[in-house]
Amino acid sequence: MTRDPLIRAWGWLVALSLAGALITRAPDVTGLAVVILGLAFAKAWLILHHYLGLAGAPSWRRGFDMVVAGFCLLLAALALLA
């Protein structure tokens, strides 16, 4: 296992991207959109924390986490309403 947090973040990003694409092959069940948006939030979290360096800026990290999570929840609500 690599010690470079950037490689670990990249590995997770690739894995989550493939998971997001593969999950759409599953039957179209209610709530699939929530899972897809959950994966999107996890990818955004990795980019903000590791690529953009917010891991070292706790106040900003919390703010961005809350806003992106709220945004994904809003999209999930709109997806479930359709």
Partner 1 sequence: MSQRPDDPPGLLDELPGEVMMWVLIISELLVFGAGLVAFMAMRLTDPAGFAEAQAHLHRAGAALNTVVLVTSGLLAAWAVHAAEAGREARKRALLAGAMALGVVFLVIKGMEYADKASQGIGIETNTFFTFYYLLTGFHAAHVVAGVVLLGLVAVLRDPRATETGAAFWHMVDLVWVLLFPVIYLIR
CB 61 within 8 A of CB 54: yes
Does 49 participate in binding partner 1 (rule CB under 8 A)? no
Q: Binding mask 50-79 vs partner 1 (x if CB under 8 A, - otherwise)?
A: xxxxx-xxxxx-------x--xx-xx--xx
CB 72 within 8 A of CB 41: yes
> Residue 47, SS3?
helix
Identify which of 37, 36, 55, 38 has the alpha carbon closest to the alpha carbon of residue 46: 55
Does 37 participate in binding partner 1 (rule CB under 8 A)? yes
Query: Which residues form the interface with partner 1 (CB under 8 A)?
Result: 6-7, 9-10, 13-14, 17-18, 20-21, 23-24, 28, 32-33, 36-37, 39-40, 43-44, 47-48, 50-54, 56-60, 68, 71-72, 74-75, 78-79, 81-82
